């Protein structure tokens, strides 16, 4: 059986690895141009082609994956001039792997279904390194028929696929997932600041936490900066974290949920972005909270710079 023809929009930090897995596993792949030409050139060298527009990409694909920043970008790539909908035909499956708003996903799925176009969500858990090796987790929202079509392609870059419900359910679960991780980041940053004010170094802090019940993979990547000054220990920008937390609090508002902690976490990332840390990665939240407390950057970062 021939493999589905894949279109891919957003071959950036995560998307490049996902697209690489698809083309290396035999899926005919076409990508949309990206402001960073490096990943596009690399994928073309691996056998992919480049589409002239989103409309062309849709017209030549069975499945189109989106891996963009958020809801505004998803709408723009669908509805913009020469967008996906301008070239989409019945039978097309669009899979949004971005961290987006569930309400938009549900609305798009309802709007496109009468056109014979399936809109699904498959946001991701994992890192760019896991994207490169095909070891991501995908949280899929799709109906039975659409899931059967997209699952083999999703499996090219995700070693763990969890179907969580209908369209929109994937983005809901992703927001909850990101709330947990970004909430941990907020806790670590504040705990490090309190420790520093009390004279406890990150190294002593880590000696107690690492290997205990409070240790986890996210803790280890976060502390890669606090201990060693590695600004890329967890590659996810504070501005994106703030965006995701806005989506979390919006979701809570839309469903009438009491949401005390998520609002506080959102405001911390908002404050960090306001202080100029938006382009920096999440572990540097520790520096933002240190600055709010009148403290210098964490000692590990200072040592690395010297």
Of the residues 3, 20, 174, 302, which is catalytic? Answer: 174
Is 174 a known active-site residue?
yes
Nearest 5°: phi and psi at 131?
-65, -40
Cβ-in-10-Å burial (0-12, 13-18, 19+) of 186 comes to buried
- Whether 175 contacts 244, CB under 8 Å: yes
Annotate the chain with DSSP letters as a single string: -PPPPEEEE--STTHHHHHHHHHHTT--EEEE--SSHHHHHHHHHTT-EEESSHHHHHHT-SEEEE--SSHHHHHHHHHSTT-HHHH--TT-EEEE-S---HHHHHHHHHHHGGGT-EEEE--EES-HHHHHHT-EEEEEE--HHHHHHHHHHHTTTEEEEEEEESTTHHHHHHHHHHHHHHHHHHHHHHHHHHHHHTT--HHHHHHHHTTSTT--HHHHHHHHHHHH--TTSS--BHHHHHHHHHHHHHHHHHHT---HHHHHHHHHHHHHIIIIITTSBGGGHHHHHHHHTT-PSPHHHHHHH-
Residues known to be catalytic: 174
């Amino acid at each position: 059986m021939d493999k589905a023809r894949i279109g891919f929009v957003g071959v950036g930090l995560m998307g490049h690895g996902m697209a690489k897995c698809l083309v290396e596993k035999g899926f005919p792949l076409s990508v949309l141009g990206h402001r960073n030409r490096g990943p596009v050139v690399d994928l073309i060298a691996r056998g992919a082609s480049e589409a002239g527009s989103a409309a062309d990409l849709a017209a030549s694909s069975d499945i189109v994956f989106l891996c963009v920043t958020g809801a505004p970008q998803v709408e723009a790539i669908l509805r913009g001039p020469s967008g996906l909908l301008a070239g989409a035909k019945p039978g097309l499956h669009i899979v949004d792997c971005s961290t987006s708003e569930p309400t938009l996903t549900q609305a798009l799925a309802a709007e496109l279904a009468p056109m014979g176009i399936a809109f699904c969500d498959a946001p991701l858990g994992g890192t760019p390194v896991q994207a490169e090796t095909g070891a991501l987790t995908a949280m899929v929202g799709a109906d039975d028929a659409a899931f059967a079509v997209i699952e083999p392609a999703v499996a090219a870059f995700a070693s763990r696929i969890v179907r969580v419900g209908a369209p929109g359910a994937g983005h809901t679960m992703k927001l909850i997932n990101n709330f947990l991780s970004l909430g941990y980041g907020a806790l670590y940053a504040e705990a490090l600041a309190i420790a520093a004010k009390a004279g406890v170094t990150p190294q002593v802090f880590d000696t107690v936490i690492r290997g205990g019940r409070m240790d986890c993979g996210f803790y280890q990547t976060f502390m890669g900066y606090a201990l060693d000054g590695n600004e890329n220990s967890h590659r996810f920008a504070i501005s994106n974290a703030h965006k995701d937390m806005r989506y979390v609090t919006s979701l809570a508002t839309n469903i009438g949920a009491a949401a005390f902690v998520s609002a506080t976490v959102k405001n911390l990332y908002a404050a960090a972005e306001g202080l100029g840390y938006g382009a920096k990665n999440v572990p540097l939240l520790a520096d933002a909270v240190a600055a709010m407390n009148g403290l210098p950057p964490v000692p590990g970062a200072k040592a690395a710079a010297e």
